[in-house]
Every structure is written in structure tokens, then in C-alpha cells.
């Protein structure tokens, strides 16, 4: 990854981090070599990730079940007795918790649709995600966070598989839309 | 009642975390998966933080709470195939279930399309392959 600064633009150093070029304000307006340690989004990611881990921990202790989001949502479609209310309350909390951040934190409010993704693409993506997470018994949260947090080998395999499938899909989608 | 309260707090923490971490922004997720392009590693920090807190917490909290344990499942063909199908959908839209649901509150069109078709996909998997019995 490239990281460093050269030149000035509008009297600020121009820095290239991870291939992105941005202006940076230095505390003393010094011009020269400057390597910011991390992109701001990494801190948001780490902080948000810790909240996700904490919430998953609370749900684990409260319900005694592995709190994977695809499972919590999916099992609403096959309701067992006395097993629906907590799932709805969890999803309500998830939606309101996110909405609160969208309205208060500028970074959280970012919402950009990637190039070439129509609503038809989203409809197909939804089908595949729904189908795949139930056959595969977990998603990014159930396998990627909770399963790996438990050290389950099948969750490590599942996470590697959906990541590689995601890498390939994005690569092929780029090729297909560029053509 | 206590369970419902705790589950609400858990959901709110996870929803807030998904939004704060930028995972509700489909482009940030797709940029993580775009390893041959303008790669954005933010998602790795999200997963790292979440795994550390969850994995560390479930061990540390054994002192004072009844933290359940589970047996590991065998690596089955269905886990591999299902995860591959999920990964394809993830790469197409940049949505996994949590972020898609989290975007519903803002009534974002893509989430309003994605969540119902996700439910249909889950329903089909449950009916055809008898999962979630």
C-alpha cells in the first residue's frame, strides 16, 4: 500500500493512502513527508466492530443461542412457539440503533450504491444471500463474528468461502460491466 | 421481560456498530471485496474488533455469567456451497443480512428490495433443503 505525501495543493500537503489522494491539514501546516498512521475509516470500523461484538455477546448471554443475524431473521419465517417476540425485538433494536447513528454521525450516514448495481441486481443478490445463508447456516455475523469467536472450524471455512466468492463476484462483475 | 430488554439492547448495539463502522454503505463493502481495484480494508477492522470483543468477552464473562458453549459442527458440503452462494450475493449488492436490515429504518430503496427477496431465498432454502427445522 502506498502511503506518504508529496507536493501541496491549496497550501495543504497531498497524501496518497491506499491509492486514494487526499488533502491533509497538518497541525503546524508543515510541508513535507507525512504518513498518517491509519485512514479515519479504520477507526470507525474498529469502534463499530467492537460494538457489534459487544451486542453479540449480550444477545448470546440473554438468549443462550448463537446470535447470527441471518438465523435470527430467518427463523421468523418458520416460527416456533414462544420464539418470535425476542427476534422481532432484536430486529427493532437493530433498525433503531442504526437509524440513531445515521442521524448523528456523518460517517455512518454514508450510503453509496456501487457502480452498475440496479434494483434488479439487488433483488437477485437478496435471493442468493437469503438462500445461501440458510443452506450455509450463517452469515457474516453468525459465522464471521460469532462462529470464529467460538473458534469453530466450520465457521472459519464458511468465512473463507464467502469472502473468496465475494472477491470473485466483484472481479467478474467489474469485467462484465466494463465490457 | 428481562430477556426482551437485553435483546433490544443487543440489537441496538449491533445496529449502531454496523452503521458506525460504515458497513451499511454498500460501496465500502464492495471496495473491501475489490482486491484488484481500490481496496478498502475497513471491513477487516470491523471483523477484527467484533471477533476480539465477542471471543474475548465470552471467555472473560464466564466468571460472572452463564455463558453457553456449543459443539463445533462438521464441515459439510452444504456449509461450503451455501456460503459460496451467499458470497456471490454479497459481492453483487454489498449487502449481507445485518446491514440490509439496518438500512430499512432509513427506507433505502435497495434495502426495501433486498430484504423481501432475501426472505424469499431463506424460505425456499427452508422448504427445499429442510434447514432450520
Checking if the pLDDT of B103 tops 70, the result is yes
**Do the chains contact at A111 and B26, CB–CB below 8 Å?**
yes
Who's near A135: CB < 8 A, 6+ residues apart? Answer: B78, B81, B82, B85, B125, B129, B131
Q: Which of B41, B51, B108 to mutate against chain A (most A CBs within 10 Å)?
A: B51
Question: A176 to chain B, minimum CA–CA distance in Å?
Answer: 12
Question: A14 to chain B, minimum CA–CA distance in Å?
Answer: 18
d(CA A77, CA B124): 10
**Could you tell me the pTM of the whole model?**
0.88
Q: What is the pLDDT of residues A103-112, one digit of tens each?
A: 999 999 999 9
Q: What is the mean pLDDT of chain A?
A: 88
Beta bridge partners of A60: none
Who's near B71: CB < 8 A, 6+ residues apart? Answer: none
Q: What is the ipTM of this complex?
A: 0.97
Phi-psi category of residue A4: left, alpha or beta, with phi > 0 → left and psi -120 to 50 → alpha: left
Who's near A78: CB < 8 A, 6+ residues apart? Answer: B126, B132, B133
Locate cell 464441515: which residue?
B75
Phi-psi category of residue A120: left, alpha or beta, with phi > 0 → left and psi -120 to 50 → alpha: alpha
Q: What is the pLDDT of residues A26-65, one digit of tens each?
A: 555 555 555 556 678 999 999 999 999 999 999 999 999 9
- Please, which residues 18-57 of chain A have a Cβ atom closer than 8 Å to chain B? 18-20, 39, 41-42, 44-57
Whats the size of chain A, residue-wise? 179
Give the model's pLDDT for residue A34: 55
Higher pLDDT, A5 or B68: B68
Q: Which of B6, B27, B50 to mutate against chain A (most A CBs within 10 Å)?
A: B50
CB A107 within 8 A of CB B22: yes
Among the partner residues B57, B88, B121, nearest to A165 by beta-carbon distance: B88
Among the partner residues A63, A98, A174, nearest to B19 by beta-carbon distance: A98
d(CA B50, CA A48): 8
**Do the chains contact at B97 and A164, CB–CB below 8 Å?**
no
Higher pLDDT, B70 or B38: B70
Amino acid at each position: 500500500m502506498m502511503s506518504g505525501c508529496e507536493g501541496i495543493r491549496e497550501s495543504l500537503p497531498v497524501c496518497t493512502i491506499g491509492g486514494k489522494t487526499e488533502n491533509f491539514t497538518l497541525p503546524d501546516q508543515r510541508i513535507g513527508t507525512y504518513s498518517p498512521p491509519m485512514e479515519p475509516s479504520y477507526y470507525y470500523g474498529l469502534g463499530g466492530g467492537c460494538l457489534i461484538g459487544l451486542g453479540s455477546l449480550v444477545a448470546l448471554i440473554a438468549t443462550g443461542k448463537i446470535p447470527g443475524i441471518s438465523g435470527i431473521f430467518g427463523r421468523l419465517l418458520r416460527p416456533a412457539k414462544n420464539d418470535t417476540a425476542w427476534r422481532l425485538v432484536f430486529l427493532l433494536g437493530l433498525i433503531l440503533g442504526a437509524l440513531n447513528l445515521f442521524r448523528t454521525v456523518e460517517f455512518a450516514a454514508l450510503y453509496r450504491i456501487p457502480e452498475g448495481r440496479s434494483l434488479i441486481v439487488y433483488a437477485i443478490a437478496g435471493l442468493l444471500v437469503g438462500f445461501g445463508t440458510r443452506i450455509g447456516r450463517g452469515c457474516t455475523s453468525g459465522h464471521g463474528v460469532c462462529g470464529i469467536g467460538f473458534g469453530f472450524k466450520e465457521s472459519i471455512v464458511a468465512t473463507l468461502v464467502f469472502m473468496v466468492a465475494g472477491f470473485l463476484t466483484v472481479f467478474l462483475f467489474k469485467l462484465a460491466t466494463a465490457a | 421481560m428481562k430477556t426482551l430488554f437485553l435483546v433490544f439492547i443487543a440489537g441496538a448495539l449491533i445496529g449502531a456498530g454496523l452503521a458506525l463502522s460504515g458497513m451499511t454503505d454498500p460501496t465500502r463493502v464492495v471496495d473491501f471485496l475489490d482486491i484488484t481495484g481500490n481496496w478498502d480494508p475497513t471491513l477487516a477492522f470491523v471483523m477484527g474488533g467484533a471477533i476480539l470483543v465477542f471471543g474475548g468477552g465470552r471467555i472473560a464473562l464466564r466468571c460472572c455469567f452463564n455463558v453457553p458453549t456449543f459443539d463445533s459442527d462438521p464441515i459439510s458440503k452444504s456449509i461450503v456451497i451455501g456460503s459460496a452462494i451467499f458470497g456471490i450475493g454479497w459481492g453483487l449488492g454489498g449487502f449481507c443480512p445485518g446491514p440490509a436490515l439496518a438500512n430499512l429504518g432509513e427506507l433505502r430503496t435497495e434495502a426495501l428490495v433486498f430484504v423481501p427477496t432475501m426472505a424469499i431465498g431463506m424460505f425456499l432454502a427452508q422448504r427445499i433443503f429442510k434447514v432450520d427445522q
